[in-house]
Amino acid sequence: MRVAIYSRVMDDEQRQDLQLFFDELGKQKLQPVIFQPFLEQINKTISLPGDVSVFHAAEQITSEIQAIISLGGDGTLLDTVALVRGYDVPIMGINFGRLGFLASIGRDEVQAAIKSLVNHSFVVDKRTLIHLDSNLPLFGNTPYGLNEFAIHKQDIAPMIKIYTYVNGEFLNTYWADGLIVATPTGSTGYSLSCNGPVVFPDSGSFVITPVAPHNLNVRPIVVPDDNIISFEIESRSEQVICALDSRREIVNKDVQLAVKKESFSLSLIRLSENNFLQTLRNKLTWGLDKRN
């Protein structure tokens, strides 16, 4: 069984856990295919199995790869989304970072996680992706994201006006620093920090959340994900920022933008004992009350 390994960077304090991870891969006879820049970081400090191979581009993630393992936090896992590109390769996130909401498998669960791959005893959650259409070639071959699409003013620019339409029908004009369209997965991320609601991953919806709106009566709104949401931007600055998850592009304010549900979904691996509500309570302390 071949599994791709992706990570950005590892600290010295994580070396012991990382060694345990690769030791368990060898013990379970899994063949790691390691992201080349990551391999170059660790090959002198980590003892690796003898059958290691490398990949350096998304095109090398083929049907021969049974899973992608992301070692890091949620940002690292979001990077792996761009590697999938429509291939039905599930992603397992092992949290070597801080919060680990998406990468929900802890370091202490590494052995159980790898055994679940071998025994096919894991659970796969299908997650909706958001797709960006534009009159400019934005975000290359991966114009989609797992968490959200966002429009922002530039750092020192005044607030912008974002005329927003749902299936061509006018929704609202947002006077704000920006606007977020979040997937259900992204509802617990940036949108949540801007007072957006939490929605269940399988709710079939998008959340439209303004960033620092200059109106007291403007609130986030939930819309079905079979709608097309389009935008017109008015700004005193000539440029604005478009973002898909952690990726950014600076574009002219007259850019044409629309988002919709991506034609394919993402498969996230979780251990059977973990679920969305448990993660909400454990990671975001949802409902935490000392009286309970």
Task: Tell me the average pLDDT across 262-280.
Answer: 86
- Distance separating alpha carbons of residues 51 and 37, to the nearest angstrom: 18
50-64, 136-150, 160-174, range with the lowest pLDDT: 50-64
* pLDDT at residue 282 is higher than 90: no
pLDDT grade, residue 143 (50/70/90)? very high
* pLDDT at residue 195 is higher than 90: yes
Task: Tell me the average pLDDT across 154-169.
Answer: 94
Report, at the CATH architecture level, how domain 130-261 is classified.
Sandwich (2.60)
pLDDT grade, residue 68 (50/70/90)? very high
* pLDDT at residue 45 is higher than 90: no
* pLDDT at residue 292 is higher than 70: no
Model confidence over 83-120: pLDDT tens digits? 887 788 999 999 886 777 888 888 888 999 999 999 98
Which part of the chain has CATH 2.60.200.30? 130-261
Report, at the CATH architecture level, how domain 2-127+265-284 is classified.
3-Layer(aba) Sandwich (3.40)
Task: Tell me the average pLDDT across 29-34.
Answer: 92
- Please indicate whether residue 74 is annotated as part of the active site: yes
Asked whether the beta carbons of 67 and 92 are under 8 A apart, the reply is: yes
Which part of the chain has CATH 3.40.50.10330? 2-127+265-284
What pLDDT score does 288 carry? 78
Tell me which of 225 and 283 has the higher pLDDT.
Answer: 225
Which residue matches tokens 């952690």? 246
Indicate which residue of 17, 23, 74, 254 is catalytic: 74
Mean pLDDT score of the chain, rounded to an integer?
91
pLDDT grade, residue 179 (50/70/90)? very high
Which pTM value belongs to this model?
0.91
